[in-house]
Amino acid sequence: MALVDALGNLARFILLPGQRHDSIGVKPLLDGVALGALLGDKAFDSDWLRLELDQRGALAVIPPMASRAKNIPYDEEMYKWRHLVENFFQKIKEFRRVATRYDKTDTSYRATVHLVATVLAVR
């Protein structure tokens, strides 16, 4: 999971096991981060996350899941900026070592992702 800033640069990165849902990593990813809005896909549509963002004074720009009984409005124009997160993942996958995960340990893979993000930010 990655948290990127408004320019698409990596702010935080958390490595999760492949079999875990993304919502598990949201709390540690946002811990101690001041933000004005969170743009996420439908996988992040949960009541506890919306409540926490509301308590922080941040806007939740998350489309509601189809299974929701009540449709929750969101800013569709602002949501279009979520492509910056997807662009970040596409850019780091240009580096073969990240895309194929050659590293044996989580620590070295994390370091590789941070190194690649630094290279991308300097470009």
Residue 48, H or E segment: helix 47-56
Name the residue range of residue 62's domain.
Answer: 2-122
Number of domains in the chain: 1
Tell me the pLDDT tens digit for each residue of 61-103: 999 988 888 889 999 999 999 888 889 989 999 999 888 888 8
Q: Return the CATH number at 117.
A: 3.30.420
At which residue do the structure tokens 């509601």 appear? 64
Q: What pTM was computed for the model?
A: 0.77
**Position 20 confidence tier, pLDDT thresholds 50, 70, 90:** low
| Rounded to 5°, angle at Cα 20 from 16 and 23 | 85
